Amino acid sequence: MAPPHPPHPRTLFDKVWKSHVVEPEAPDRPALIHVDLHLVHEVTSPQAFSELNARGLEVRRPDLTIATIDHSTPTLAAGPDGRRPYVTARAEAQVAALRGNCARHGIELFDWESPNRGVVHVIGPEQGLTWPGMVVVCGDSHTSTHGAFGALAFGIGTSEVGHVLATQCLFQRRPRTLRLRIDGRLPPGVGAKDLALAVVSTLGFSGGTGHVIEYAGEAVRGLGMEGRMTLCNMSIEAGARAGMVAPDETAVDYLRGRPRAPVGDAFDRAAERWLALAGDDGAAFDGEISLDASALVPMATWGSSPDQASAVDAAIPTPGTATARRALDYMRLEPGKPLIGTPVDVVFVGSCTNGRISDLRAAAAILRDRRIDPRVRMLVAPGSEAVRREAEAEGLHEIFLAAGAEWRLPGCSMCIAMNGDQVRPGKLAVSTSNRNFEGRQGPGARTILASPATAAASAVAGAVADPRTYAVASHAG
């Protein structure tokens, strides 16, 4: 006999939210919730630390705060004099400020020489810092990445960074819930990035506003943890507060043996708690949407917003709004023409969306024994030092270099173009990052978002290309 339904079935989000409420929400104020893990980087933290220091406040829980450097850091090696090639003095000052603040407040920092350094949303999971059931915050929009583990994870503003540093708590209004069920299996050559772009284009730029999305269904369960991270990472691009996937054995297996995960019997007890976080049968959501993964094909954006995406082999759509017309004008693309074959100047593989080892493997599988078009510049930036070591141990860097690509140090790199890695004005990039806003990759740069496989295929072709023509059947990235 099946166990009876609990008297008040709860969603994954309900369970995590309720267990972290310090003071409940009231009509005149948000709820106060406890934060389990605060991730800090050099760009959004200086003002927050300055406020603490000016008021003589200490960091409440330095043991629950981890810092890394990623956004402003150059991805080129230091020169013969040992100096890092920062693009501006401000970028170097941001890193120095974080170093000083972490030393002052006793916060662990993954600095240049740390073997753990990397992009903030890559190092959290790979170090085993992110656990199911946690509340995770960071002064970065794509903190939703950590929701792949069944954590409630979201980005916060600079003033909120200061509040968490000082109190380890945060005021938040309870968001609504949206279950996005993705049934069927992803076809060969279609990966998590394609799925994420399909989700964002289906929901629209603001379709998830005010909601936490819980991803469910066969296609989601079929993803490895790195694919789930890609999916949750881009939840914010549909306006959602966060994205979550209920913990299962895949999540447990990923965390087992990670440096900061529990050990021995403590891990087994934690795993039991984690698996119990899955939503109860009969739990109600504020909204529900279904997608069929088996009908998906490789995706790419055609506009200047992540929701302006369609099948890579489809014609560029006719704009139905002034916003879409502006986007096509900026991208210099014509409605009705195929996106495939559009000449490409730059290809970027990396970022917190697609800078993990499975992403690099997917790109390398396309590039093996091939050369990129000589007119294309291709940068590959691993998401962390751990990813870089693993890729080099497998010889992936040799495949990239032999193909004509640049193999860089870990960092946000060309995703945000504040570190020296930029697309020149007017040039077109195929990028595995998460945003294609006007100027995101440099002033006047034009960006097409795609999977690592599509990006690599486009580098070889010298134009937007369908990775399936290269006979790669991979569900990575």
Q: Write down which residue in 110, 142, 172 finishes a domain.
A: 172
Whether residues 120 and 226 fall in one domain = no
pLDDT number for residue 54: 94
Cα 145 from Cα 122, distance rounded (Å)? 9
Whether residues 123 and 98 fall in one domain = yes
Whether residues 160 and 242 fall in one domain = no
Whether residues 60 and 147 fall in one domain = yes
Whether residues 328 and 223 fall in one domain = no
Does residue 7 lie in a domain region? no
Whether residues 366 and 219 fall in one domain = no
pLDDT number for residue 1: 46
pLDDT number for residue 375: 97
Q: Using only the alpha carbons of the chain, give its radius of gyration.
A: 22
Handedness of CA 314, 319, 324, 329 (dihedral sign): positive
Domains identified in the chain, total number: 3
Give the HSE-up count for residue 11: Cα atoms under 13 Å, Cβ half-sphere: 23
Q: Write down which residue in 294, 318, 353 finishes a domain.
A: 294
Other beta carbons less than 10 A from residue 1's beta carbon: 3
Whether residues 324 and 187 fall in one domain = no
pLDDT number for residue 8: 86
Does residue 1 lie in a domain region? no
Domain that holds residue 151: 12-172
* 219-266 pLDDT tens trace: 999 999 999 999 999 999 999 999 999 999 999 999 999 999 999 999
Does residue 378 lie in a domain region? yes
Does residue 115 lie in a domain region? yes
Whether residues 143 and 159 fall in one domain = yes
pLDDT number for residue 3: 52
Cα 302 from Cα 279, distance rounded (Å)? 36
Whether residues 403 and 261 fall in one domain = no
Whether residues 52 and 162 fall in one domain = yes
Pick from 419, 385, 381: nearest CA to 397: 381
Pick from 176, 163, 143: nearest CA to 32: 163
Q: What is the pLDDT along the chain (477 residues), one digit of tens a residue?
A: 455 556 789 999 999 999 999 999 999 999 999 999 999 999 999 999 999 999 999 999 999 999 999 999 999 999 999 999 999 999 999 999 999 999 999 999 999 999 999 999 999 999 999 999 999 999 999 999 999 999 999 999 999 999 999 999 999 999 999 999 999 999 999 999 999 999 999 999 999 999 999 999 999 999 999 999 999 999 999 999 999 999 999 999 999 999 999 999 999 999 999 999 999 999 999 999 999 999 999 999 999 999 999 999 999 999 999 999 999 999 999 999 999 999 999 999 999 999 999 999 999 999 999 999 999 999 999 999 999 999 999 999 999 999 999 999 999 999 999 999 999 999 999 999 999 999 999 999 999 999 999 999 999 999 999 999 986 444 445
Q: Write down which residue in 172, 194, 222 finishes a domain.
A: 172
The total number of residues written for the chain in this structure: 477
Does residue 476 lie in a domain region? no
Whether residues 272 and 125 fall in one domain = no
Residues 10/279, Cβ–Cβ less than 8 Å: yes
∠ CA 273-278-284 to the nearest 5 degrees? Answer: 140
Instruction: Say which CATH number the domain at 153 has.
Output: 3.30.499.10
